[in-house]
Structure 1
Amino acid sequence: MEEREKVVCLAKLAEQAERYDDMVEFMKKLARMDVDMNAEERHLFSVGFKNTIGAKRASWRIICSLEQKLTSGDQAGVMIDAYKKKVEGELRKVCNEVLSIIAIHCLPLASSGENVVFFYKMKGDYYRYLAEFSTGTEKKAAADQSLMAYQHAMVVASSELSPAHQIRLGLALNFSVFFYEIMNSHERSLILNGSFLSFH
């Protein structure tokens, strides 16, 4: 069994066992082989990181919710704030790692329109995750990078993928979420969904 095939098998095993940290390590190893990933490999790469980051994003939201329920002068506020910063540090680390791998090992080797759209969409997603918890100039920088990645993905998707293509539909949905949650542009979100998802 070739090393590439072995790594994919191990990643699939880790996914079935719901050991997503292991899955991420296997897929990082694959990415660093500098291969143009096929559909199955792309899926495994995305799923591993999505489950890892998803749990941390959920934790961050719960902590923020608890923080909002505090009354003025509550002693627990200091502890909650410190714990929130810890989770934000973990989120930042995962996002930056994914973005680095995409920039160095994935996009330069993406030979098909499908792969280009997939990885630019993923780039937009992880900059969006950074923007969710960042503030000030850091938030603006992450939002700007997310916007550019989504826009690039949309341009390629419009010419390379059919309107009903699963990746194109996922891109439209996530770009819409970006406008709704990060840019607070609810109208733009609705317009994007209506125009980009048109099958006519």
Structure 2
Amino acid sequence: MANFSKERGNCVYVAKLAEQAERYDEMVDAMKKVAKLDVELSVEERNLFSVGYKNVVGSRRASWRILSSIEQKEESKGNELNVKRIRDYRHKVELELKGDYYRYLAEFKAGNEKKEVADQSLKSYQVFDGAYTKTVES
């Protein structure tokens, strides 16, 4: 039991450090370890978990909003070449977000539901990877 408590404390501390350093992916990873200990999360732990995910997804959503804004400006200028480039790039961000959402869902599902959402996540990431490779090679 002491090892459980020590590991839990270490993970929570690392999550707090990661939050301060704005390394939200690592914050989420640390809190997932706590969740896998199969203990009820405290209010503080639930908040750390929530803040981590909110920030991971939030930064990607912010990227999407910025790209959409730039796209609108280029459209108003009539610059179709840049509009196409932006749409292609925004599409990659959308695919990555979709993959992330499905991956987060998979972490909390079980059985067939877990497999289904994990498959959706993988599919989105594979399409994202293909779109990314295509853009880089263009």
TM range (shorter): 0.5 to 0.7
Map of 1:75 onto structure 2: 81
Taking the aligned partners of 2:85 and 2:39, their CA distance within structure 1 comes to 45
1:113-144 Cα deviation digits (max 9, x unpaired): xxxxxxxxxxxxxxxxxxxxxxxxxxxxxxxx
Map of 2:40 onto structure 1: 36
Map of 1:91 onto structure 2: 97
Q: Which amino acid aligns with 2:57?
A: I
Distance change (3 Å), C-alpha of 1:37 and 1:7: same
- Gap runs ≥5 in structure 1: 105-200
Higher helix share: 2
Matches within 5 A, 1:32-181: 32-69=36-73, 70-71=75-76, 72=78, 74-104=80-110
- Gap runs ≥5 in structure 2: 111-138
Taking the aligned partners of 1:91 and 1:3, their CA distance within structure 2 comes to 31
- RMSD between aligned residues: 1.8
* Among 9, 12, 18, the residue aligned to 1:14: 18
Taking the aligned partners of 2:95 and 2:27, their CA distance within structure 1 comes to 21
- Give, in angstroms, the shift of residue 93 of structure 1: 2.2
Taking the aligned partners of 2:44 and 2:72, their CA distance within structure 1 comes to 41
The runs of at least 4 consecutive aligned structure 1 residues that moved more than 3 Å come to none
Is the 1:31–1:101 contact (alpha carbons within 8 Å) kept by the matching residues of 2? no
Taking the aligned partners of 2:92 and 2:39, their CA distance within structure 1 comes to 34
- Give, in angstroms, the shift of residue 60 of structure 1: 0.5
Q: Which amino acid aligns with 1:90?
A: E
Taking the aligned partners of 1:45 and 1:97, their CA distance within structure 2 comes to 15
